[in-house]
Amino acid sequence: MKKYICVLTAVIMFVLAVVPAAAAGGLELAVLDVGDGKAPSVVELAEEETTITTKSLPDAVFGEEYDFTIECTDKDAEIYEYYNPGRPNDFEKTGFKFGSSGRIYGMPKNVGKFTFTVCAAGEYGEDYATFTITIKEAHKHTLVKTEAVGSTCKDHGHNEYYTCSSCGKVFKDAEGKAETTAVAEELPLTADHVWGDWTTVKEATEEAEGEQKRVCTVCGREETRAIARLAHTHSFGDWTVTKQATCTEDGEMTRSCSCGAKEAASVPAVGHKWDKGVITTKPTKDTAGEKTYTCTACGETKTETVEPSDEYGEEHPAMALSILPAILITAGSVILVCVLTAVIAVLVIKKKK
């Protein structure tokens, strides 16, 4: 034990007076020079007693190596088992060895409580202490099995393991040899989700992708995926004639989709609209004539040969002959009507008179 004492010169003198007694009791006195050339004001009083400071020994377990060192104030003191028939002396029954510096080590030989005496012999004296060491029965684990459980995507499973119901230690094996922990035996979550059906969250359109979702029925995790944009189907408007068809040439018409796509189609030529035609060259009995037709739409003309005939050559007499009876009948009728009208008019006038 070291003590620091601030003292005055008078006190120093008092201490000096007790030096002989102190030396006998293991006290060491030193006067420190503080370095200012004046009389020292601090005195260190170092006390070196040989005192065993260890109060008790830890228990030993049968079947397990033991190793413990008894402490003493004097590091240089020799510590040994003190054999004296008048004192407890059971050290030998422990089976341990005693090292020179107070180390007790080795395998236990017996189970029980063993008391013995230790002596520490130093430069300034000796100290004795009596210790009792308890060598306990080796612990027998009472192992309870925990069955293996597989992981899901939500809950951690674990390997099978055994827990001692008495000490709480956990082992991989039923013999309690391979110690482990419940946490170490835990299994990682599995990535195998139990997916429900895909449901459409957003329908795909021609303009945008849609979206589908599915949910894990175990852990609730969601997964989404895109639905491809719908293929564009053209929606054409009405046909617009861009080039009118003529009698002989096809026209053209187009229609377009909102996407800009265009479609064209031809409008078939309408064909000439021929009139009844006129005889432009009268046939005779011997020569062919010609008939000319004119298109009422475009003015185009075409001719047709009229087979030789006298039909057209005697046109006027023939026509006169054929028309004459009609003319005569018509004229007769007109005259008859006039006469009848006149007669009736006369009769009416006479009656009025």
Tokens in use for 55?
């109060």
Q: Find the part of the chain contacting Zn ion (CB under 5 A) among 1-9, 82-90, 147-155, 279-287.
A: 147-155
Q: What's the rounded Cα separation, in Å, for the pair 114 and 106? A: 15
Q: Find the part of the chain contacting Zn ion (CB under 5 A) among 53-61, 76-84, 255-263, 343-351.
A: 255-263
Selected binder of Zn ion within 138, 182, 265, 298 (CB under 5 A): 298
Task: Kindly give the residue spans of alpha helices, DSSP state H, lying in 222-297.
Answer: none
- Between 153 and 227, whose beta carbon lies closer to Zn ion? 153
Q: Find the part of the chain contacting Zn ion (CB under 5 A) among 113-121, 186-194, 278-286, 322-330.
A: 186-194
For 345: left if phi > 0, alpha if psi spans -120 to 50, otherwise beta; the answer is alpha
Q: Find the part of the chain contacting Zn ion (CB under 5 A) among 34-42, 55-63, 68-76, 214-222.
A: 214-222
Compute φ and ψ for 319, nearest 5 degrees.
-65, -40
Interface with Zn ion, residue 178, by CB under 5 A: no
240's CB contacts (< 8 A; 6+ apart) are 253, 254, 255
- Between 57 and 170, whose beta carbon lies closer to Zn ion? 170
Q: How far is the CB of 244 from Zn ion (least distance, A)?
A: 13
Interface with Zn ion, residue 261, by CB under 5 A: yes
The candidate with the shortest Cα–Cα distance to 144, out of 157, 161, 124, is: 161
Q: How far is the CB of 234 from Zn ion (least distance, A)?
A: 4
Q: Is the dihedral of CA 144, 150, 155, 156 positive or negative?
A: positive
Compute φ and ψ for 22, nearest 5 degrees.
-65, -45
Query: How many Cβ atoms from other residues are within 10 Å of residue 161's Cβ?
Result: 23
Q: Is the dihedral of CA 111, 115, 117, 120 positive or negative?
A: positive
Per-residue contact string for residues 106-135; x = within reach of Zn ion by CB under 5 A: ------------------------------
Q: How far is the CB of 135 from Zn ion (least distance, A)?
A: 18
Alpha-carbon distances of 318 from 117, 191, 286, 311, rounded to whole Å: 178, 112, 19, 8
Interface with Zn ion, residue 291, by CB under 5 A: no
Interface with Zn ion, residue 193, by CB under 5 A: yes
- Between 29 and 295, whose beta carbon lies closer to Zn ion? 295
Q: What's the rounded Cα separation, in Å, for the pair 235 and 350? A: 88
Q: Find the part of the chain contacting Zn ion (CB under 5 A) among 26-34, 35-43, 241-249, 316-324.
A: 241-249
The candidate with the shortest Cα–Cα distance to 131, out of 65, 71, 77, 76, is: 71
Interface with Zn ion, residue 259, by CB under 5 A: yes
Interface with Zn ion, residue 218, by CB under 5 A: yes
Interface with Zn ion, residue 300, by CB under 5 A: yes
Q: How far is the CB of 153 from Zn ion (least distance, A)?
A: 3
Q: What's the rounded Cα separation, in Å, for the pair 11 and 39? A: 13
Q: How far is the CB of 174 from Zn ion (least distance, A)?
A: 13
Selected binder of Zn ion within 1, 13, 241, 297 (CB under 5 A): 297
Tokens in use for 38?
């004046």
Beta bridge partners of 295: 274
Selected binder of Zn ion within 216, 230, 245, 279 (CB under 5 A): 216
Query: How many Cβ atoms from other residues are within 10 Å of residue 44's Cβ?
Result: 13
Q: Find the part of the chain contacting Zn ion (CB under 5 A) among 5-13, 25-33, 208-216, 343-351.
A: 208-216
Selected binder of Zn ion within 230, 247, 253, 267 (CB under 5 A): 247
Instruction: Find the angle CA(344)-CA(345)-CA(348) to the nearest 5 degrees.
Output: 85
For 91: left if phi > 0, alpha if psi spans -120 to 50, otherwise beta; the answer is alpha
The residue count for binding Zn ion (CB under 5 A) is 20
- Between 259 and 342, whose beta carbon lies closer to Zn ion? 259
Q: Which residues in this chain contact Zn ion in the complex, by CB under 5 A?
A: 141, 153, 164, 166-167, 193, 216, 218-219, 221, 234, 247, 257, 259, 261, 272, 295, 297-298, 300
